[in-house]
Chain A
Amino acid sequence: MFFLRKYKTIIFIAALLIAALSMISYNLKYGTDKSFLRKIVLETVAPVQKVLKFSITSIKDNWSRYIFLVGIEEENKNLNKKINELKAAIVSYQESYQEAQRLKKLLSLSDDYNYNFISARVIGREQAALSRVILINKGSSDGLKAGMPVVAPPGLIGRLVDVSWHVSKVMLFIDENSNIDAIVQRNRTQGIISGAGSRGLVLKYISKTQDVKEGDVIISSGMGGVFPKGMLIGQVIHVDRQDAGLFLKINVAPYTDLSKLEEVLILSSDETKIK
């Protein structure tokens, strides 16, 4: 008893340190825990962040709206021109799409999965150290589950890692822990897309004999069943062949501007449709 009283501060500090270390070791061994306490913290952070973000963004937007109006007319002209160009492109793509549908029917191919889209709003962003996650305003009460793929036009952006009742955490694919099976659209070369933080993405395990060029489009391969096949991931921006080793070093830029995410879509695949 005397011992406990004398060293109570040291014992208390040691207990807290051991608790933190146990938390790390548990999570490394069994994966991220979905404890009640963590959910409570996430649920509390979300509304606070929503209010703060709304207030600061409103001030920033008003400032931008009234101060930086110069050049709007010119921009408007350019955008109208671009719209006309895109309209023409859409018509051409619609033709190709219909043709693809007809061919698909002829070959009797069908999708293995029936995906439903659940839309959510981005309410926070946490970019601590090597991790890149965003918070969204939908959770398990909306049918979300950990592992579901998340997209934002024009392509894939990550997957759900932590789902609370009304809030969820999305691990962006530029997170250092993220790995997605991908293929080069042009020649169907398969590799793994890994997050490289602020440097975007890296396409790994592509042999030096493969033909991968700057500008090549990278899409998801559909392997593993987590991400649907054919979703846009990014574009090759640099291929390094000089480095020693068996594989190419390929840097990929994501298609989606991850710093400007406001709304995202979650692909929910509750029912599997196998024909």
Chain B
Amino acid sequence: MIYYLSLPFLSILLIALQSTVTDIFFSGRLTLEISLIVIIYAGFHLDLIKGIILAFILGFVMDCVSGSVPGLFTFIYMIIFLFSFFVSDWLDTEKVYIIIFFSLFCALAKEIILVFVYYLTFKIDMSMNSYFIPFMQTLIISIFAPVFFYLMARLEVLFYGKKT
């Protein structure tokens, strides 16, 4: 129960931290989407109900704070969580290169969905757009994901005495 009660507050804290770090270190040019890494981590380690609620709340908070179409992040995060959850049975989720490539794939998929939705709804001329920034963001996520997974594993050991 504590998990579900604390989820909205922790989600707000995470999104606020994420945008502050991004703003200060990248001056708003790049985004370090820690929330996406959290969703992938949840897909690998949490059960279905806990994870999908986390994805829903995190996506909703992201929708409220960001300027995207409300509901879009909620939907994308849930899809990414479900994909990570079902794929985790076939993957060795402890391997660093698996984490890197899987995060890269998910981040890329997310960017493609966003660009596609924006193209369909707002008729944005994508030829005018630079693809460099979204690509750099996916790279940053894939590089940072193993670090996050490692830190979470250490936290788990600290709190629950689990061996990873």
Contacts and interface: CB of A to CB of B under 8 A. Distances in A.
Interface residues of B, number: 55
Contacts of B27: 259-260
B43 interface: no
A127 B26 CA distance: 11
B61 A41 contact: yes
B118 A176 contact: yes
Contact of A199 (B17, B62, B129): B129
Given A26-B71, A28-B69, A28-B121, 19 more contacts: A16-B56, A17-B75, A20-B71, A20-B75, A20-B78, A23-B70, A52-B16, A53-B24, A125-B19, A125-B22, A126-B65, A126-B67, A129-B118, A130-B115, A130-B124, A171-B67, A177-B122, A259-B27, A260-B27
B140 to A, nearest CB: 13
B141 to A, nearest CB: 12
Interface of A is mostly: helix
B111 A129 contact: yes
A16 B53 CA distance: 8
Interface string A253-265: 0000011100000
Interface stretch (A42-50, A81-89, A110-118): A42-50
Contacts of B48: 9, 13
A20 B67 contact: no
B81 to A, nearest CB: 10
B15 interface: yes
